[in-house]
A and B are shown apart, each in its own frame.
Chain A
Amino acid sequence: METIVSATNPQANIAEIPRSARGWQFVRRFAHHPGALVGVFVLLVLIVAAILAPYIAPFDPTETDVGARLSAPDAMHWLGADLHGRDIYSRIVWGGRYSLAVGIATVLLALVIGSSIGIFLGYVGGRVDAIGSRLIDVLLGFPSVVMAILVVVVLGVGLVNVVIAVAIAQVPRFARVVRSAVLVTKEQLYVDAARAIGASGWRIMARHLLPNVVPTLIVLGTLNLGEAILSTATLSFLGLGAQPPTPEWGAMLNDGRDYMRYAPWMMFFPGLALFLAVMSVNLIGDRLSQLLDPRARQR
């Protein structure tokens, strides 16, 4: 049975339920959605495979084998081999470490910087907020991948720089959404109360505003994770991210480009891994959005 939360004051009803029960209730509500379950399952498979890569990958992902060059999938190379005879299955499993880790690192970096800026602007308000918000608007005007490419051109190629580049491209989004959330939250009575007992601005931001925008951040972070994974792969596909012989999925797609007609598995399987990762993250993000976003929850 599903607990019905008051549409007019959801916080009031939730507060009456013990914390542990609330957690289970949340999990049950999350699991109620089959798409989200599929997303969790696929993402878990990819993460576990990446963690266990040294044990489940039959070959070294960088080991070349001239004899196996462009081999079609068979009993030895389950997903075929690339131009250098490297095992594609092993490269995909190892590549998950790069693609997923870089995506997560990117979102975390963007989340920390973006939410800090958003909370600061939203709380301080006035002219600082006006100028900061206009700057964010300007940055949002740039397509994020173009912005990331510009940053990589300045910083140089490589996965670390890709993390920084994609994070910088995502910061304005986090800042804008968090600022909006803070504008609502800072008008709450408990914030006035904290101010009245002499709490400093930094304390109010850290202890009272931040916890209240966490649900928003979780939703936004999850929804942006898929895009971060794709942006990272895009930059690697363009030759700006992972460098040879790193088995990153975007770089693998690029490796297979010229051989699409003769060895389609070189592009198909890394593309499939990328698709599954982004799809699973988006499915999870959508469900979290339904459960945690107050507006969505009220619908």
Chain B
Amino acid sequence: MPHWRVTSKYRSLIVAFAASTALSGAALAQSGGNLRIAMPANQEPASMDGQIDPYQSTWLFNSFVTDPLVVLDPTGKYVPALATSWEASPDGKVWTFTLRDGVTFQDGTKFDAEAVKFNLERIADPKTASAQLKNDIGPFTKVEVLDPLTVRITYDTPWVTLLDAMRRAPLWSPTAAKKYSVAEFQRNLVGTGPFRLTEWKQNDRLVFTKWDGYGGWNPVQTKKGPVDLDTLTIRFIGEASVLGNIVKTGDADIAFALPPSVIDDYKDDKAYTFTSKDQSGTGLQMVMNVRKPPLSDLRVRQAILYSADQNAVNDVLFDGYYAKSQGPLNNNHPCYWDGSSTMYKTDAKKAAELLDAAGWKLPAGKPIREASGVAGVTDGTPLKIRYNVLHHKEIGEVLQQQLRKSGIDLAVEVIPGPVQIERIRNRDFELMYERQRSPDPAILDQVWNSKWDQPGGWAWTGFKDAKLDETVGKLRSVPDVAARCEAAKEAQKIIMDNALMLPTLSDPVFVAFPTAKVKGFQIGSEGNWFFVNNTTVQK
């Protein structure tokens, strides 16, 4: 057997090779590469300016370009970002933020209290036409600059949900925002964040490029200075089956919001990291229009709830991967009222009794009940209830079968967004899909306070109850978190007592990426959010 002696010549070669390998390894670790994330096409914003657009995905994309005052970190805590601290007055009417020093926008404009004031006033300006943030930030009476690093926001009424709004509110460079019109600015975003928006090819992709001047102000970021990634590309994929396979084909590094049908492909594959995260909020709820028959009758509404079996829907369609949502707030919401889960256990006999009592009788030999002495309904009218959704029609199809057993004809109809808006405007619906996502219980006020039953408002059902209005109103005014949760639970009980909505399920966000290739990707405490500040991708 030959014996190899390492001569000094070989030794120097080995040392040189080892050194070059180490150097290239170090270079690989330092350089973050180009990260490509695939997402469903319906998450592409209409406007890239989150001060205008009302969707979570827009605020998420904005968070790459600009840091907010506060961040909801992956553990679910509000932590300082561009605000180093904040203080609310005991009555919840005055909020004071102390700002981080030494921060500049990507165009060199200094970030200070004047910039915060400018942004808040821009959001409130009717010309901006903010579809959501204006409501979330609330009707402040004034924004004062106390000194260059201190800003004070004052309200006439308590506004305790400001942090939840400010963690989403993008703060733009006043210089850049003034330079462009509202419509033009969305393609020329200038913020304080780790990336610049360098390309937006609609119906295809967003490309963000690293900003070398970034100071690492996001508290989630572990190192100071710019992020490692060179570019971040968000690809919008229209076909769920394509999205489901895109990481495996190598056309993306991360698949975000995967369809449940592909979960088994990733779950047990050790080459991939598969993770899911729930989204606190209302779940995929169907709100009921109580203005006219048949849903004006509480007994009919209750019968629908007694006829539905959510667990069966989950098992049949999603192998149990979806999360439960048994009330106006889904089961993983911090303020979920667990009484919802026992109030309407599936009970076909009870549903039948309620429908009989309400005058909806089952004629001999027919599968669908018909009106018999129902006020405002011609005798013989079949019990048909429209079920309007934008997506997830398969849930409706299973419910259709379940409700048919009680003699209810559930007409599942998939409608496009503009049709939904028109039907809501005309209050022309029976069961309508309405979903809000937030860990804050104030979404109950948004959906159930009758004062928001107005054009552009989110209270669609037509139900008016002084006690409910007062209870959900507290969610905007009571500063104590525990007390707010108590109010939220009381509101949920009233809503369920009156059977005003049909809870269906709650869809978690499913994410997959190759374990060896992508490092440091962090999902937020809410499934619809993530951080790439510490992410690297193998070249």
Interface positions of A (Cβ within 8 A of B): 62, 64, 66, 69, 83-85, 153, 156-157, 239, 243-245, 255, 257-262
CA distance A62 to B418 in the complex (A): 29
Closest chain B CB from A42 CB (angstroms): 30
Contact A239 B259 (CB under 8 A): no
9 A-B pairs with the lowest CB-CB distances in the bound complex, closest first:
A239-B414, A244-B412, A244-B397, A258-B240, A260-B241, A64-B401, A258-B261, A243-B413, A66-B316
CA distance A259 to B262 in the complex (A): 9
Contact A245 B416 (CB under 8 A): no
Closest B residue to A259 by CB, please name it.
B261
Task: Tell me which residues across on chain A come within 8 A of B259, comparing CB atoms.
Answer: 258
CA distance A239 to B394 in the complex (A): 12
List 12 additional contacts besides A64-B316, A64-B398, A243-B412; criterion CB under 8 Å.
A64-B401, A84-B316, A84-B401, A153-B416, A157-B419, A243-B413, A244-B412, A255-B394, A257-B241, A258-B240, A261-B245, A262-B261
Task: Tell me which residues across on chain B come within 8 A of A62, comparing CB atoms.
Answer: 401
A69-B316, A84-B401, A259-B261 in contact; A153/B396 too (CB < 8 A)?
no
Task: Tell me which residues across on chain A come within 8 A of B394, comparing CB atoms.
Answer: 83-84, 255
Task: Tell me which residues across on chain A come within 8 A of B325, comparing CB atoms.
Answer: none
Task: Tell me which residues across on chain A come within 8 A of B262, comparing CB atoms.
Answer: 261
B147 within 8 A of A: no
Can you report 15 A-B residue pairs in the complex whose CB atoms are below 8 A from each other?
A64-B316, A66-B312, A83-B394, A84-B316, A157-B413, A157-B414, A157-B415, A157-B419, A243-B411, A243-B414, A244-B412, A245-B401, A259-B241, A261-B241, A261-B262
B317 within 8 A of A: yes
Contact B418 A153 (CB under 8 A): yes
**Chain B 245-258 against A: per-residue CB contact (8 Å), 1 yes, 0 no?**
10000000000000
CA distance A293 to B411 in the complex (A): 46
B residues 286-340 touching A (CB-CB < 8 Å)? 312, 315-317
A66, A153, A243, most chain B CB atoms within 10 A: A243
Closest chain A CB from B240 CB (angstroms): 5
Contact A245 B245 (CB under 8 A): no
B393 within 8 A of A: yes
Task: Tell me which residues across on chain A come within 8 A of B245, comparing CB atoms.
Answer: 261
B269 within 8 A of A: no
Contact A244 B316 (CB under 8 A): no
CA distance A243 to B412 in the complex (A): 7
CA distance A84 to B312 in the complex (A): 11
Closest chain B CB from A239 CB (angstroms): 4
Contact B414 A84 (CB under 8 A): no
Contact B241 A244 (CB under 8 A): no
Q: Contact partner of B239 among A64, A156, A257, CB < 8 A?
A: A257
CA distance A64 to B398 in the complex (A): 8
A69, A156, A258, most chain B CB atoms within 10 A: A258
Identify whether the interface residues of A are mostly helix, strand, loop, or mixed. Answer: loop
Interface positions of B (Cβ within 8 A of A): 239-241, 244-245, 259, 261-262, 312, 315-317, 393-394, 396-398, 400-401, 411-416, 418-419
Closest B residue to A246 by CB, please name it.
B412
Closest B residue to A267 by CB, please name it.
B241
Task: Tell me which residues across on chain A come within 8 A of B415, comparing CB atoms.
Answer: 157
CA distance A84 to B315 in the complex (A): 11
Task: Tell me which residues across on chain A come within 8 A of B316, comparing CB atoms.
Answer: 64, 66, 69, 83-85
Contact B397 A84 (CB under 8 A): yes
Task: Tell me which residues across on chain B come within 8 A of A262, comparing CB atoms.
Answer: 261
Task: Tell me which residues across on chain A come within 8 A of B416, comparing CB atoms.
Answer: 153
Task: Tell me which residues across on chain A come within 8 A of B418, comparing CB atoms.
Answer: 153
CA distance A159 to B331 in the complex (A): 38
CA distance A245 to B240 in the complex (A): 21
Closest chain B CB from A57 CB (angstroms): 18
Closest A residue to B410 by CB, please name it.
A244
A83-B317, A243-B412, A258-B259 in contact; A153/B419 too (CB < 8 A)?
yes
Closest A residue to B241 by CB, please name it.
A260
Closest chain B CB from A128 CB (angstroms): 37
Closest chain A CB from B65 CB (angstroms): 33
CA distance A36 to B225 in the complex (A): 73
Task: Tell me which residues across on chain A come within 8 A of B411, comparing CB atoms.
Answer: 243
Closest chain A CB from B321 CB (angstroms): 14
CA distance A261 to B261 in the complex (A): 9
Task: Tell me which residues across on chain A come within 8 A of B419, comparing CB atoms.
Answer: 153, 156-157
Task: Tell me which residues across on chain A come within 8 A of B396, comparing CB atoms.
Answer: 244
CA distance A71 to B457 in the complex (A): 45
Task: Tell me which residues across on chain B come within 8 A of A156, comparing CB atoms.
Answer: 419
CA distance A260 to B239 in the complex (A): 11
Closest chain B CB from A60 CB (angstroms): 11
Closest B residue to A149 by CB, please name it.
B416
CA distance A64 to B399 in the complex (A): 11
CA distance A270 to B62 in the complex (A): 43
Closest chain B CB from A238 CB (angstroms): 9
CA distance A245 to B239 in the complex (A): 22
Closest B residue to A263 by CB, please name it.
B261
Task: Tell me which residues across on chain B come within 8 A of A66, comparing CB atoms.
Answer: 312, 315-316
Task: Tell me which residues across on chain A come within 8 A of B240, comparing CB atoms.
Answer: 257-258
Contact B315 A244 (CB under 8 A): no
CA distance A130 to B195 in the complex (A): 59
Closest A residue to B412 by CB, please name it.
A244
CA distance A34 to B234 in the complex (A): 53
A153-B418, A157-B414 in contact; A258/B400 too (CB < 8 A)?
no
Closest B residue to A69 by CB, please name it.
B316
Closest A residue to B240 by CB, please name it.
A258
CA distance A118 to B240 in the complex (A): 45
Closest chain A CB from B510 CB (angstroms): 13
Closest A residue to B262 by CB, please name it.
A261
CA distance A94 to B240 in the complex (A): 28
Closest chain A CB from B131 CB (angstroms): 22
Task: Tell me which residues across on chain B come within 8 A of A261, comparing CB atoms.
Answer: 241, 244-245, 262
CA distance A220 to B241 in the complex (A): 38
Q: Contact partner of B398 among A84, A239, A260, CB < 8 A?
A: A84
Closest chain A CB from B38 CB (angstroms): 15
Task: Tell me which residues across on chain B come within 8 A of A239, comparing CB atoms.
Answer: 393, 414
Contact A244 B239 (CB under 8 A): no
CA distance A51 to B395 in the complex (A): 31
CA distance A153 to B421 in the complex (A): 13
Task: Tell me which residues across on chain A come within 8 A of B393, comparing CB atoms.
Answer: 239, 244
CA distance A156 to B422 in the complex (A): 11
Closest B residue to A156 by CB, please name it.
B419
CA distance A258 to B261 in the complex (A): 7
Closest chain A CB from B450 CB (angstroms): 29
